[in-house]
Amino acid sequence: MSELSDKILVVDDDANLLAGIKRLLGQKLNITTAEGGIEALGKAQNEGPFAVVVCDMRMPGMDGVEVLRRFHEASPDTSRIMLTGNADQKTAVEAINTGQIFRFFNKPCSMAVLTEGILAGIRQYRLITAEKVLLEGTLSGSIALMNDVLSMVAPESFQRSLRLRGWSLQLAASMGMDSPWELELAATLARIGEISVPPEVLARHRSGQRLTPVEEEMLSRVPETGAALVRKIPRMAQVAEAIAYQDKWFTGKGLPQGGKSGQDIPLNARILHVLLALDEIGSGELTRAAFPSLEKMQGRFDPAVLTAAARGLSAMVVDEAALTRLEIPSTGLRPGDILEVQLELENGKLVLAAGQTITDALFVRLQNLHKMYKFRDPVRVRRAGRL
């Protein structure tokens, strides 16, 4: 989250000048000084953020253009003001183009002019930072609202989104991605479009039952519906595109229709396509057998992404040999159990599809359901550990 600041950093190699500025302006403004570029960059790292940095142009070792260029990289929201006794046009152009200068003042500069420039810089900083705070708050709030809706309307879809989020974080870290948050959000919201599908249709789909053409079309539109929802959130265009292309084959087959194929498909969409397939094949678990199965599906997945996923997710793979198969009453279910058959009420109504993992939230839900209904027993499950 962006942080508001009213601190000003003044950089010069003249200690007397710095002392004079701090004496004259220090009572009204929050002034910090630095003798030279190295000290300035150190204070930026340890004492920042600064709303404004005022920097002399001509300094030994590191000139003002280089100092402000580095400030722009490290703290792009900081307003940057250049002071110089060299008023030639070349210096001014270089400073503005390289350091993204907010103001350019020639020395000697009156305290009144400098103060006015600093106050303008503070206003500019607050304007930019306040907008970022608003956008970040809107972003996080919108995503939290979507997840709350998904958890209430389609709890199984919500649990799946949590799994995909965890896998995406692990994979993004192993791949050294520059913007892992985009993949994380795409994975978290990948199935948000399922809120438009009737729960009974989702349940039949998860249990492997045959769907009608109308129901198949509903499911095929889940990525498109989800992308349309996400596009309404500021700064989420690339995340929405990844969600829209989550079902697209590497060869270009599948939805959305269009000419994108291969590397033209967004990388996050190609990764999401692999993660969703791993989740489906493993019924919610990452298994060693899943990766060879995907490799046999020629043309469907990006080979480079498959290789990266096999390597990056290896630590999260479930050891099937360590799972014990049990047949138990439904009242004996516990968190961590994996359903091998669908869980039904005595009247045949589906409660959970085969392959679902009993999470803490689902366990509490089942406890409440047991107080109201009778379940069809026994239930076959896989449980970690040998009995």
Could you tell me if 230 and 182 lie in one domain?
Answer: yes
Residues in the chain: 387
Q: Distance between CA 153 and CA 364 in Å, rounded? A: 17
Q: Which residues pair with 338 in a beta bridge?
A: 357, 382
Domain boundary among 301, 318, 335: 318
**Which structural domain range is residue 342 located in?**
321-384
C-alpha pair distances (Å), 60 with each of 81, 91, 179, 322: 19, 16, 37, 66
Q: Which residue has the tokens 């000697």?
A: 108
Q: How is residue 245 annotated by DSSP?
A: T
Task: Specify the pLDDT at position 89.
Answer: 58
Number of domains in the chain: 3
Could you tell me if 174 and 312 lie in one domain?
Answer: yes
Each residue's pLDDT, cut to its tens digit, for the chain (387 residues) gives 344 568 999 999 999 989 999 999 988 899 999 999 999 999 988 897 899 999 998 888 888 888 888 888 888 889 999 888 765 556 666 666 655 788 888 888 889 999 999 999 999 998 888 767 666 666 677 677 777 777 777 777 887 888 898 899 899 989 998 888 889 889 989 999 998 999 889 888 887 889 999 999 999 999 999 999 999 887 789 999 999 999 999 999 999 987 799 999 999 999 999 999 999 888 777 888 899 999 999 999 999 999 999 999 987 776 666 678 899 999 999 988 888 888 899 998 888 877 777 878 789 889 999 999 999 999 999 887 644
Q: Distance between CA 55 and CA 245 in Å, rounded? A: 48
Could you tell me if 300 and 184 lie in one domain?
Answer: yes
Q: Distance between CA 278 and CA 269 in Å, rounded? A: 14
Could you tell me if 305 and 175 lie in one domain?
Answer: yes
Could you tell me if 168 and 295 lie in one domain?
Answer: yes
Q: Of 339, 354, 350, 353, which is closest to residue 376 (Cα–Cα)?
A: 350
Could you tell me if 289 and 195 lie in one domain?
Answer: yes
Q: Which residues pair with 318 in a beta bridge?
A: 287
In a domain, 136, yes or no: no
Radius of gyration of the chain from its Cα atoms, rounded to whole angstroms: 29
pTM: 0.59
Q: Distance between CA 242 and CA 382 in Å, rounded? A: 33
Task: Specify the pLDDT at position 387.
Answer: 47
Could you tell me if 169 and 299 lie in one domain?
Answer: yes
Task: Specify the pLDDT at position 10.
Answer: 94
Could you tell me if 193 and 261 lie in one domain?
Answer: yes
C-alpha pair distances (Å), 182 with each of 236, 243, 312, 338: 8, 11, 18, 30
Q: Distance between CA 264 and CA 258 in Å, rounded? A: 11
Residues 6 or more apart whose CB falls under 8 angstroms from that of 78 comprise 48, 49, 50, 51, 52, 53, 71, 72, 125
Structure tokens at 327: 């047949």
